[in-house]
Chain A
């Protein structure tokens, strides 16, 4: 039996943002900078063909929100810049017309004169500070903090020191439907439909930028958000422009991002350079790590990018016991689109850092890669505090590793002449903030309004099943409705592998609250459901005090063709611990999708820019987005579930596929190259293109 909401999507019975049409609606188009860095000299208006032209002059100096980060120099992104553009694709002006068809014709007539400036594109260029993008802070460095914990003097006791440098290219989220919104200002209220992961976040952002009372803004999402991958969490300058346009015109204003725009718009993910040393004893005991993580933040601080280097640094010790760690977390400005969370948002980056080091250590000591990990892994049932202060809640890291190890040895004897890797990680589940869930009981239904926003996830089916268990009511009586800022008092949204965990915890508490309220009313749940009219309305805003983590281990098999220097994953195994699976097939599906993306980062994907900041990834083909024929492997999954300490006992899985697959594919590829060419390469970038390998192998031979 297919899952109901998936069937709706496949049969075309769903509604995307661009399907929503309001009466009297007009369309907004954003004119974007063709330069990575330039001074805006003049904007010439297109006569009276447009209903409205918005420029920095007409809207004022409005700045997008950015998370506050201690010790960071924050430079926020203007909705429209008044003097200088700082990335190709940056909004410079907006045009509103009656018809979508005339939009681009009229926009073509807006002539903008620029004086190009020398752009800063790479992390290395930014660090040189020869050109400073934001003169007001006098440097390209937004953040430079050192995280340190434990006794770093143990480093001098090391018998072995390993070092690895890796630069990960930027990635584009590429949801099925790009971003978009409809803003309608009417009767002193602003109604916004947004293709979003978080209606609450969009509302808060719009209120902040517009200086508009938050209770006058309602944000809703279409039935189907066609993928989001972190890209659809905050409000964007385009949403602000649509809101302003609607306030001026008093008509609904729609903006929908095109695929071409999406490839070079905020936010992009990865873009991380790391140089990390690992200190160990000759017996394989890891003492600690020391090094730096530098994130290419792009042109501005936006959404949570200011703190992203710290997040990666904090996860860099992985699921291993260490005595000390010292990691410098740096964020630099460049003339690229602002970075933001994308599929794992620091988790895959960190896993790649600690897993390459573990394999290098095994290699250096001539030890088995499983044995090195076994010696250092967090014990089953242990609460472990990392040297940098992250508390890893009790789980089964040893068992998960051992399960993967079995498959690793099996693959090693089965696939001769291929590259095989095993990796293990602790997936950070973003539970902080929790989630709001409301029960509305009566008229034959137990309606559950949830704060999470599915983006292709089966939230409705999964939480209906879970609610049926905890409320002790048949599924047929339960209806799950993704909520928004109108139907819930409190909500957070779907990102950071969090929704199953926090929504299930909230439903667990809600069921208790409802039961005690009903008993005080002398009603059974079934009576309440059957009664005419709503008899109980109860909202739980569940807020856990800590994050939890989910163990995972992956095994990848990579085949490499030494003639073409191309590679493929041919077999794959993933062990997970989700605490308690709500729908097994959904857990598996999350892993399948994530694994493909992790593989793709290693083999194909990259938002690549030339030295002058011109994007070279102008189409999906250039970008390297995988498609179904690229899936030439099967993924076998296995759950070793142990309950978490949160109500309901769940752990997350959303980002587990990507997190494991980036490291496992990277390492299996390295081994495959070694097996097939005899050259012991140390890969130091993604994507691992044939031309990069050609240089690497040629130099090594």
Chain B
């Protein structure tokens, strides 16, 4: 339960992190470390360097704008859990946060880290897919944006290329009467999901559904959007 030897670099900007990651493909970002540290101790991974972004300023924001919500790369699950605006706008987000792991995990683990780790049973992807969120990626050539459902390509794999880091998560806002929720089936409290389903609905004035969006996690090699939900 002791990690193999690794190097440690503390960066002060994401641009600096990009440079390190570009020069050494075995370096790994350390954000909340809630998946990374156990894997290190179990010797499942042997990174050359941990690139610690925890001291990078201004990455812990939850910025609520008129047409979108931007979530910084260092936002911890707990910040989402206690954000009153998010409870009003998209309850699915804090509902997801409170169901992740335990309080210790939620105090340190980050949304961006969870996406980058791409565990097929992670909670966030279901909700972010349902909310049609995308991932903003900073890399050597600059910034690109990828929808969450395309960002994760399989178990523990993403589109992140050499030198690329997640800089923020962008969640669009919709006008009108919007409802959202995340429901997780777990064997025991705090476990990974047996299955997790998030739904966003836009309702018209008479209460009929104008638009529906669903995200599912832990039901396949990667989270997905069921395109033709079965009618019951």
Contact = CB atoms under 8 A, between A and B. Distances in A.
Interface in B173-227: 185, 187-192, 194
Interface string A98-131: 0011011100100000000000000000000000
A604 B188 contact: yes
A258 interface: yes
B172 interface: no
Contacts of A260: 1, 42
A273 B191 CA distance: 29
A608 to B, nearest CB: 13
Given A260-B1, A627-B102, A104 B43 contact: yes
Contacts of B43: 104
Interface string B39-81: 0001100000000000000000000000000000000000000
B188 A630 contact: yes
Given A104-B43, A627-B102, A258 B189 contact: no
Contact of A624 (B1, B2, B187): B187
Contact of A627 (B1, B185, B190, B194): B190
A690 B185 CA distance: 12
A104 B4 contact: yes
B232 interface: no
Interface in A596-655: 604, 621, 624, 626-627, 629-630
B39 to A, nearest CB: 11
A566 interface: yes
Nearest to A103: B2
B42 A624 contact: no
User: Which of B188, B189, B192, B194 has the most chain A CB atoms inside 10 A of its CB?
Assistant: B188
B228 interface: no
A627 B188 contact: yes
A568 to B, nearest CB: 10
A621 B192 contact: yes
A188 B188 CA distance: 52
A695 interface: no
Contacts of B185: 564, 566
B5 interface: yes
A626 B188 contact: yes
B215 to A, nearest CB: 19
A629 B105 CA distance: 15
Interface in A253-268: 258-260
A566 B190 CA distance: 15
Interface string B150-186: 0000000000000000000000000000000000010
B218 to A, nearest CB: 13
Contact of A101 (B2, B102, B188): B2
Nearest to B43: A104
Contacts of A105: 4-5
Interface in A280-326: none
Contacts of A566: 185, 187
Contacts of A259: 1
B200 to A, nearest CB: 23
Interface in A223-266: 258-260
Interface string B1-34: 1101100000000000000000000000000000
Nearest to B189: A629
Nearest to B187: A604
Nearest to A689: B187
Nearest to B4: A105
A627 B2 contact: no
A382 to B, nearest CB: 43
A100 B189 contact: no
A630 B43 CA distance: 30
A326 to B, nearest CB: 40
B42 to A, nearest CB: 7
A128 B183 CA distance: 47
B228 to A, nearest CB: 23
Nearest to A566: B187
A630 B5 contact: no
B189 A627 contact: yes
Contacts of B192: 621
Contacts of A624: 187-188
Interface in A64-106: 100-101, 103-105
A630 B188 CA distance: 6
Nearest to A258: B1
A101 B191 CA distance: 30
Interface in A563-610: 564, 566, 604
A259 to B, nearest CB: 7
B3 to A, nearest CB: 9
A104 B2 contact: yes
A629 B4 contact: no
B172 to A, nearest CB: 32
A600 B1 CA distance: 26
A643 B2 CA distance: 51
A103 B2 CA distance: 9
Contacts of B1: 258-260
A100 B187 contact: no
A621 B191 contact: yes
The CB with the most chain A CB atoms within 10 A, among B102, B187, B189, is that of: B187
Nearest to B1: A258
A566 B185 CA distance: 10
A103 B5 CA distance: 12
A108 B4 CA distance: 10
Contacts of B4: 104-105, 108
A195 B56 CA distance: 43
Contacts of B102: 627, 629
A627 B187 CA distance: 12
A159 B189 CA distance: 47
Interface string B102-138: 1000000000000000000000000000000000000
B186 to A, nearest CB: 9
B2 A630 contact: no
Interface in A490-525: none
A607 to B, nearest CB: 16
B181 to A, nearest CB: 17
A104 B42 CA distance: 11
A104 B2 CA distance: 7
B36 to A, nearest CB: 15
Nearest to B38: A619
Contacts of B194: 690
B98 to A, nearest CB: 11
Contacts of A564: 185
Contacts of A104: 2, 4, 43
A11 B54 CA distance: 30
Interface in A31-90: none
Nearest to A561: B185
B171 to A, nearest CB: 28
Contacts of A103: 2
B33 to A, nearest CB: 17
Contacts of B189: 627, 629-630
Nearest to A257: B1
A371 B197 CA distance: 47
Given A101-B2, A626-B188, 14 more contacts: A100-B2, A103-B2, A104-B2, A104-B43, A258-B1, A259-B1, A260-B1, A260-B42, A566-B185, A604-B188, A624-B187, A627-B188, A629-B188, A630-B189
28 contacts: A100-B2, A101-B2, A103-B2, A104-B2, A104-B4, A104-B43, A105-B5, A108-B4, A258-B1, A259-B1, A260-B1, A260-B42, A564-B185, A566-B185, A566-B187, A604-B187, A621-B191, A621-B192, A624-B187, A626-B188, A627-B188, A629-B102, A629-B189, A629-B190, A630-B188, A630-B189, A690-B187, A690-B194
The 4 closest A-B pairs by CB, nearest first: A629-B189, A258-B1, A104-B2, A630-B188
